[in-house]
Structure 1
């Protein structure tokens, strides 16, 4: 499992890890999960479909979501897989960082709308 320590919080390192068992990349502070980005894996298309990203409010404003996204997308690239950004945060990150365009399969507007409706109906994908 790849790990990166991209930031510090109150002098503690914040680690980023791939938790394949839960199908998500996580931000961890002293072993506690403080944020994540979830995905589904489509083996037939070799795609990781990112569906939701969140960071605990106590850690907001520190750029941790951006570091989480970069770590996750770099890991997808290193595995030779493709990205499908249904998650609004991951989609926005890719727009701001076009270096990931070569491994991105953009979802259609219908797919995005269906995903957003399903997430709203479920009360968010936590």
Structure 2
């Protein structure tokens, strides 16, 4: 996951978290792994370790 972006007028509403959560759930349903290069995704994964099984080694 390279980048997440939410327009400034929509920030602070949990949209980025919803976006990342949806993408991670989709990856899980497809039995895929991710490489988190986006700092927001890395932070999200640190806060939600239940998704760490999706991170490619």
The separation in 1 between residues aligned to 2:8 and 2:54, in whole angstroms, is 31
The structure carrying a bigger helix percent of its residues is 2
The answer (yes or no) to whether the contact 2:20–2:41 under 8 Å persists in 1 is: yes
The separation in 1 between residues aligned to 2:42 and 2:5, in whole angstroms, is 14
Aligned to 2:51, which of 75, 86, 100? Answer: 100
Bigger RCO (CA 8 Å, 6+ sep): 2
The separation in 2 between residues aligned to 1:87 and 1:80, in whole angstroms, is 21
Runs of 4+ in 1 over 4 A off after TM superposition: none
Decide which structure has the larger Cα Rg and report it. 1
- Aligned pair count reads 57
TM-score, with structure 2 as normaliser: 0.92
- Taking the TM superposition and a 5 Å limit, the aligned residue runs for 1:1-126 are 50-105=1-56
The structure carrying a bigger strand percent of its residues is 1
The separation in 1 between residues aligned to 2:56 and 2:30, in whole angstroms, is 16
TM-score, with structure 1 as normaliser: 0.44
- Mark the runs of 5 or more structure 1 residues left unpaired by the alignment: 1-49, 107-126
The separation in 2 between residues aligned to 1:53 and 1:102, in whole angstroms, is 20
